[in-house]
Structure formats: C-alpha cells, structure tokens
Amino acid sequence: MKELVTNVKNLRGEIDIPGDKSISHRAVMFSSIATGTTTVENFLEGEDCLSTIHCFRKLGVEIDQKGTEVTVHGKGLKGLVEPTEVLDVGNSGTTARLMMGLLAGQPFHSVVVGDESIAKRPMKRVTDPLRKMGANIHGRADANYTPISISGSDISNIEFHSPVASAQVKSALLLAALQGEGEMVIHEPAKSRDHTERMLQAFGCEIEETGNTVRLKGNQTLTGGIHITVPGDISSAAFFIVAALIVPNSKITLKKVGLNKTRTGIIDVVEQMGATVFYENKNVEGPEPYADLIVETSELHGIVIGGEIMPRLIDEIPIIALLATRAKGTTVIKDAEELKVKETNRIRTVVSELTKLGANITETDDGMVIVGNNTPLHGAEVNSYGDHRIGMMLAVAALIVEEGEVLLQNSEAISVSYPNFFDHLSNLIS
Ligand SMILES: O=C(O)C1=C[C@@H](OP(=O)(O)O)[C@@H](O)[C@H](O)C1
Ligand SMILES: C=C(OP(=O)(O)O)C(=O)O
C-alpha cells in the first residue's frame, strides 16, 4: 500500500518523458527480424517492453540493453529459432498480439503465455484473421485466451475488414503478411496508431496508407543497420498534462513528446475543453515527430468525446475522466467499449475508484458520464487493480485531494509503462 501525495499547491519544472511504449516494442521486434545491427535510443525500460526483449532473446536474437540504449543484432525474418521455453509476454497485450502475427509464419512451434490479466484479454481478434491467412493456432476458448500455441505455416495474404480500430490487430496481421504470398489489405473502421507502418518504411519496406486502409505486399525483407530514436510517450505525458491543468498555479514543460497525429487526441480534447498547449523545439525530421510541450493551469468546460477520435486517445481515457471532474458542466465519454478489454475493464475501474474519492461519475454501456463543477475530492483507499494507467490516474487525482489521505493498493503496476513516474512527480512538487 502506498500513501500518495495530496493537497499540492503547485507543479513547476520540466520532465524528460520516457520513450514511447508502442514504438519501443516495435523497435525491438522489427530490428530483430531485420538484417544487420540496429541501435535504439530512448527505449522505454518499462516491464512491457522488457518482456518483448525477453521473448526475442528466446527466439535466438542477441540484444544488448543498457538502460535506454539497446543494440539488436538482427537475424532477418528467416533467422529466428524455435524457442525451447514458453514466450512470456507478462502484462503486455501489444507483445502478445504482435508476436502471434509474427510467429504464425515462422517454421516452428511456439507458445505465448502472460500474466493473469493477459489470460483474460481477447486474442480471437487476431486468431480469426490469422487463421483465414492459413495460420495454425490453438488455445483456450478456441484460441481466444492464452496460453496460445502456434505451429508456423504458409501464409496467404487476404483483404480484411477489421471490426475494431486496433493497431495491435493491424500490426499482427502486417507481421504475418510480411511472410505471406500476395497482397495484404486491411481496412479499419477508424484509423489506429500507425507506428508499424512508419517503422516498416524506415526498414525499407513498401507499405501504402490511404485513409483507414493499409496495403502491404508479401515476401518483403527488412533492411536494418539503422538508428532509431524513440520519442517521449504522449500516453505517459498525458498524466502530467492533466496534473498541470488541474493543480492550481502550475506551469510545466514536458520534453520531447511524440506528436504522431494518430496519438494526439488528448491534446485535441484539452483544447476543446478550453486549455492551450504550447509547443517548443518542434522536430519533424524523423518518421515520428516530437516537441516540448508547455502546459499551465486552465479553466475547463465539459465536452462530448466519441467517434473517430477514440483510437487517438484510447489509453488516455482514465486521465481524461479525472480531468472532466474539474471541468464546468458535464462530460460524456462514448464509443469507448474497447476500454473493457484493457489491463482491467477501465470503464468500471475508473468509475469505481473515482467514486471512492468523491467524484460524480456514472458508468454507461459504452463509456461514462462525469459531472464536473470542481466536485471536491476527498481521501480514500483506492486500488489500481494491477492496471498501470489506473494507478497513475489515481496518483494525479490525489494531488488535488484537500482532506484526508489517499492510499493506493497495487501501485507497483505503474512500472509496466512508467518506472520512474513517482520520481518525476516529486520533481515537480516544490
Ligand atoms: O499497438 C499498440 O502499441 C497499442 C495499441 C492500443 O491497443 P489496441 O490495438 O488494442 O487498440 C493501445 O491501447 C495499446 O496500449 C498499445
Ligand atoms: C492497453 C495497454 O497496453 P497493452 O495492450 O500493450 O497491454 C496500455 O498500455 O494502456
């Protein structure tokens, strides 16, 4: 149980936001299946990305990791070896699903396992289209849940209309398709993050993105020997963006935050609610643009959040819900069913834990309704339920609790995506 800092007077200073989790996973995966030695800078040392490194080591890839610097000695798509142990993805849905796509086309047997939370997360969204491409996959509930076993087979590329806007599904299919015959075409109902597409191009692959559709020809090779700079994770920055907006008299700078358009929904939302985010030192030269963000305390009003923006801010909904408790009027979050299949059912855990702190928040079938008006928050015992984003949201909520103490159970989950979160937070508190 961790006692959280409460009743903070202001936040000041700057933070180097740790590397983007989605890009760090992909940097290790794609450099492992590329030729040559690739170096990665500002890799996220969170547990999820370390799980990806462990899995690729078990597939015979030599990877040197010293803090945020990683060197991957690529094996090429045909150089991976059959693992003699299970591939443990820990708490990482991204690792599980992307690995399934890659392993579907490899000429060996492998087993993907994860923790208690992973064992409840749906894998059919990947299994079903992969089977249509010829994959041989078995697991609990017709391969919906881990442990999942995969016996590699010949892959034929298909045209697929994904029922969900999910970068994990899209990326898993692209990893299988790289090894397949013919052209793969994936249509999504809304555009999901496109880090895979950008990184495949950096490794010399040809991929076409038009609207919500991607096209990739099979039998391509990845040419490594490149250097990848991972920008700061906007999903991690989001906790400090909101903290600065809601703690009185605050002004902070968040350094080198990734600004890929498929991820910046949080900035659109805070601006629609009445805040301004200022940019400095913009860098648009590499495949992933980034800039320093300056955020200060702001007056906010409630809005409706739903539709095409959802994939652009899906991981930020817990912290947006907290922000909405500080806005004038009501905020409605809809079209957020995907939150039910994350590390926890995030609609339920956000509503239950913010209710314990005194917020006026109600669960709906596809999201939540928050009546803001600066409802005072009070002390309580709360729980992350092992979900890193719920833990960080609650630590930010505690900052504005004026009376009583806030105790957080399962705070260690935060190291999944932001191991030095509490150090960064205390650096901003004078
Ligand atoms: O591809 C990725 O790196 C991710 C995609 C999203 O999941 P879905 O693809 O399930 O929407 C996101 O929630 C997750 O944190 C990371
Ligand atoms: C949903 C998340 O990650 P994953 O799906 O990789 O477990 C997240 O980081 O919020």
CA–CA distance, 74 with 87 (Å, rounded to integer): 19
Q: Does residue 338 sit in the same domain as residue 235? A: yes
Give the closest ligand to the alpha carbon of residue 26: 1
Question: Per the structure, how many domains does the chain have?
Answer: 2
Alpha helices in 133-256 (DSSP H): 140-143, 167-177, 195-202, 234-246
Nearest ligand 2 atom to alpha carbon 168: 5
Of 192, 210, 229, the domain-final residue = 229
Q: What pLDDT digit, counting tens, does each position of 298-319 carry?
A: 999 999 999 999 999 999 999 9
pLDDT at 257: 98
Q: Does residue 353 sit in the same domain as residue 386? A: yes
Q: Is 121 annotated as a binding residue?
A: yes
CA–CA distance, 220 with 201 (Å, rounded to integer): 11
Ligand 1 centre from 119 Cα, in Å? Answer: 17
Residue given tokens 């041989």 in the structure block: 136
pLDDT averaged over the chain? 98
Q: Does residue 28 sit in the same domain as residue 13? A: no
Q: Which long-range contacts (CB under 8 A, 24 or more apart) does 263-267 make?
A: 263/193, 263/234, 263/235, 263/312, 263/313, 264/234, 264/312, 265/309, 265/310, 265/311, 265/312, 265/313, 265/316, 266/234, 266/238, 266/241, 266/313, 266/316, 266/319, 266/320, 267/234, 267/241
pLDDT band at 370 (very low <50, low <70, confident <90, very high): very high
Ligand 2 centre from 343 Cα, in Å? Answer: 7
Q: Does residue 250 sit in the same domain as residue 392? A: yes
Decide: 384 in ligand 2 pocket, CB within 6 A. no
Residue given tokens 């597939």 in the structure block: 59
Does the structure show a pLDDT above 90 at 36? Answer: yes
Decide: 51 in ligand 2 pocket, CB within 6 A. no
Q: Would residue 315 show up in a list of annotated catalytic residues for this protein?
A: yes
CA–CA distance, 28 with 39 (Å, rounded to integer): 9
Ligand 1 centre from 430 Cα, in Å? Answer: 35
Q: Is 139 annotated as a binding residue?
A: no
Q: Cα dist. 4→162, 207, 353, 408 in Å?
A: 41, 46, 14, 7
The stretch 81-96 carries a mean pLDDT of: 98
Decide: 315 in ligand 2 pocket, CB within 6 A. yes
Three-class secondary structure of residue 217 per DSSP: strand
Of 185, 213, 229, the domain-final residue = 229
Q: Does residue 46 sit in the same domain as residue 179? A: yes
Q: Does residue 220 sit in the same domain as residue 286? A: no
Three-class secondary structure of residue 127 per DSSP: helix
Residue of 315, 335, 365, 423 marked active site: 315
Of 199, 229, 259, the domain-final residue = 229
pLDDT at 399: 98
Of all protein residues, the one whose alpha carbon is nearest to atom 5 of ligand 2 is 93
Decide: 312 in ligand 2 pocket, CB within 6 A. no
Q: What pLDDT digit, counting tens, does each position of 374-415 carry?
A: 999 999 999 999 999 999 999 999 999 999 999 999 999 999
pLDDT band at 143 (very low <50, low <70, confident <90, very high): very high
Q: Is 282 annotated as a binding residue?
A: no
Q: Is 140 annotated as a binding residue?
A: no
pLDDT at 430: 74
Q: What is the biggest distance separating any 2 CA atoms in the chain, rounded to whole angstroms?
A: 63
Measured CA angle at 216 (ends 213, 220), to 5 deg: 165
Q: Is 22 annotated as a binding residue?
A: yes
Q: Does residue 271 sit in the same domain as residue 417? A: yes
pLDDT at 265: 98
Of all protein residues, the one whose alpha carbon is nearest to atom 2 of ligand 2 is 342
Q: Does residue 211 sit in the same domain as residue 272? A: no
Q: What pLDDT digit, counting tens, does each position of 248-306 carry?
A: 999 999 999 999 999 999 999 999 999 999 999 999 999 999 999 999 999 999 999 99
Q: Does residue 15 sit in the same domain as residue 122? A: no
Q: Does residue 155 sit in the same domain as residue 110? A: yes
Q: Does residue 74 sit in the same domain as residue 195? A: yes
Amino acid identity of residue 146, one-letter, is: T
Decide: 20 in ligand 2 pocket, CB within 6 A. no
CATH number, position 377: 3.65.10.10
pLDDT at 311: 98
The pTM is what? Answer: 0.98
Q: How many CB atoms lie within 10 A of CB 210?
A: 7
Ligand 1 centre from 92 Cα, in Å? Answer: 10
Q: Does residue 261 sit in the same domain as residue 220? A: no
Three-class secondary structure of residue 18 per DSSP: coil
Q: Which residues contact 78 (CB under 8 A, 6 or more apart)?
A: none
Ligand 1 centre from 387 Cα, in Å? Answer: 14
CA–CA distance, 323 with 11 (Å, rounded to integer): 16
The stretch 208-222 carries a mean pLDDT of: 98
Domain around 304 = 2-19+231-428
